[in-house]
Structure 1
């Protein structure tokens, strides 16, 4: 009452506005909305690579006190892995003072953070498989920032950067072995995300889950119209083709982590690649709509795409592959009998 007596006659105190209502939470995206999410650029397009490899001559090096294999590689411009192979060194790659090492010569590229094998191969107009073989790279094929890799010499290599990029051909094997970005030493791979709304940055490396995939299921219900292996005209099919109606849900054949989503391989059109444990990979091509993102964890039976006739498909169909390591395996030998 005392406060009320202080209000001048003829004036009213301003009404207090009601508190603003909290914004309603956004509903979870529907499968159709998820399918329309734009796919981010693949990792190999976000970190350009200059073809700036340094050529060194083969030489001998006498180990000094305090030398490490990595330090010797930095001093000579060679690759520590190449030096280890040339001298029969095995982990933990200890060198002794006074020891004479053979330093293999060649053309070495210094890997920068975020660079991928695919981007490096494009820069030098070489098949990534040749670089894998020259450096004896193995699973999980993740490069290390500061690592040097040997670039084979090709006398017919195109001169300009545009010609080198045009000469590179992307395929499933390249994505599996050269699609992950280089990481800093001791940097762990990224943890899979649960939702397609959470997109991993292109600089995050994705690896396969550790658990074995167990029994695979069929990705769709349909008729196999092309089988694994050589075709009538001699071309090889690394998977099977299954005829299905348009917009048929395509299911993950086992738990795994999505390694690639996009349309970078023209022949396969809309494409999803999933890594499973035990070195297994599944490949799903000709999709019309893609419902997952790179780095997303998926479960067996989950819809990851809708079927279509993209790429070089001449009818609505699914191109499906299973690979163990880098080797394509006839899917019908691993899928349940019908």
Structure 2
């Protein structure tokens, strides 16, 4: 998860071209041909026989802003350098107050001193204050946005701060940043944003796209049919114990794992006819639905709870939106050749606690 993924072209027998899920040492040149963009349609199985599959963006179809949540709130760099020290607890001190006073943040201090809720402090107690670079989270900021503002990897921030599901940041939280972090210029941030269209990792989207919430605010509950785009933090399903079902049936043309030196597939690729219905592999909440990640074209992520996320790439149509509650077997889109592929197929991933899992070991026999 720590490194960025770079797409490459792999031509398999039967002329199935795969990309997006497989990293390479050298990123490819951008194709001169425009990338196919998925249409967003009503979630129904019955489409007119003459439906033309025209390439339309989310904005064209819904009249809304197609920008993903991590771009909606610009991050204002407020990086602060904190020196390592020892603090002696005084009467009336709270961990939050000490975190604000030192700049290290209560979460980092608790982690450094192996403290656990309710974080009871005793006068005279010595607390180690961790040194390093810290960013204070503002309202609406996302993990991906913060990482991009400082030119670092979101996965490294997760590790440094021991963040866990549901990965929702809180306003005022102080995130420890990697030592190489520095505020990027507006031009550098713009370049980073455009680069994300090719190399943003699915795990990053699943864990770093939730906008920060106020201290006592609650995430939004999922809805079966959101009336407008959901741009706030969404509550994750409470739990999930399986099982998963096939999102569609077809020939598996690329399996999970190492394909060649430097080339790894984080999921499986299934060759199917254009327009084949894509169905949710299990109950969950749509965490992302859009076409802003150029490698995958139409991409849908579903949060199932308990750390499980499923991903569906190269969709020709998207029939769901962020914040929508779905049941296993529900139609979520239709397969196609959007993104950097040359033939109709579905790239399907399963992740548990950010890590890719072989879908073939979680799915029933076809």
TM-score bracket for the superposition, by shorter chain length: 0.7 to 0.9
1:215 to 219, 243, 251: 243
1:278 to 306, 316, 339: 306
2:274 to 211, 223, 246: 246
Identify unmatched segments of 5+ residues in structure 1: 1-27
1:192 to 222, 227, 231: 222
What are the equivalent positions in structure 2 for 1:48-87 lying under 5 Å apart? 48-87=74-113
1:113 to 117, 123, 139: 139
Residues 112-164 of structure 1: CA deviation (Å, up to 9, x unaligned): 11110000001001110111111111111111111001111217x68523224
What are the equivalent positions in structure 2 for 1:276-315 lying under 5 Å apart? 276-315=304-343
What SS does the corresponding residue of 2:295 show, helix, strand or coil?
A: helix
Following superposition, the deviation at residue 165 of structure 1 comes to 4.4
Q: Which residue matches 1:10? A: none
Q: Distance in 1 between matches of 2:288 and 2:222?
A: 13
Are 1:322 and 1:329, in contact at CA under 8 Å, matched by a contact in 2? yes
Are 1:39 and 1:262, in contact at CA under 8 Å, matched by a contact in 2? no
What SS does the corresponding residue of 2:306 show, helix, strand or coil?
A: helix
Q: Distance in 1 between matches of 2:144 and 2:338?
A: 23
Q: Distance in 2 between matches of 1:233 and 1:64?
A: 57
Relative distance call for 1:106 and 1:308 in structure 2 (3 A) is same
Relative distance call for 1:39 and 1:324 in structure 2 (3 A) is farther
When the two chains are superposed, the root-mean-square deviation of aligned CA atoms in Å is 2.2
Q: Distance in 1 between matches of 2:79 and 2:328?
A: 44
What SS does the corresponding residue of 1:231 show, helix, strand or coil?
A: strand
Are 1:63 and 1:96, in contact at CA under 8 Å, matched by a contact in 2? yes
Following superposition, the deviation at residue 66 of structure 1 comes to 0.7
What SS does the corresponding residue of 2:316 show, helix, strand or coil?
A: strand
Residues 37-70 of structure 1: CA deviation (Å, up to 9, x unaligned): 3564221111100222111222222222111000
Is the radius of gyration larger for structure 1 or structure 2?
1
Q: Distance in 2 between matches of 1:163 and 1:191?
A: 36
What are the equivalent positions in structure 2 for 1:201-212 lying under 5 Å apart? 202=231, 204-212=232-240
What SS does the corresponding residue of 2:274 show, helix, strand or coil?
A: coil
Relative distance call for 1:254 and 1:39 in structure 2 (3 A) is farther
What SS does the corresponding residue of 1:318 show, helix, strand or coil?
A: strand
What SS does the corresponding residue of 1:259 show, helix, strand or coil?
A: strand
1:166 to 173, 191, 195: 191
Following superposition, the deviation at residue 197 of structure 1 comes to 3.5
Q: Distance in 2 between matches of 1:41 and 1:174?
A: 16
TM-score of the aligned structures, taking structure 2 as reference length: 0.79
Q: Distance in 1 between matches of 2:351 and 2:78?
A: 34
Following superposition, the deviation at residue 261 of structure 1 comes to 0.8
Are 2:310 and 2:348, in contact at CA under 8 Å, matched by a contact in 1? yes
Following superposition, the deviation at residue 213 of structure 1 comes to 5.1
Q: Does 1:260 pair with 2:288?
A: yes
Q: Distance in 2 between matches of 1:249 and 1:29?
A: 13
Relative distance call for 1:196 and 1:90 in structure 2 (3 A) is closer
Q: Distance in 2 between matches of 1:239 and 1:139?
A: 21
Q: Which residue matches 2:154? A: 128
Following superposition, the deviation at residue 89 of structure 1 comes to 1.8
Relative distance call for 1:318 and 1:113 in structure 2 (3 A) is same
Runs of 4 or more, structure 1, over 3 Å off, are: 28-40
Residues 84-119 of structure 1: CA deviation (Å, up to 9, x unaligned): 122232221111122222211211111011110000
What SS does the corresponding residue of 1:83 show, helix, strand or coil?
A: helix
Are 1:213 and 1:254, in contact at CA under 8 Å, matched by a contact in 2? no
Are 2:296 and 2:338, in contact at CA under 8 Å, matched by a contact in 1? yes
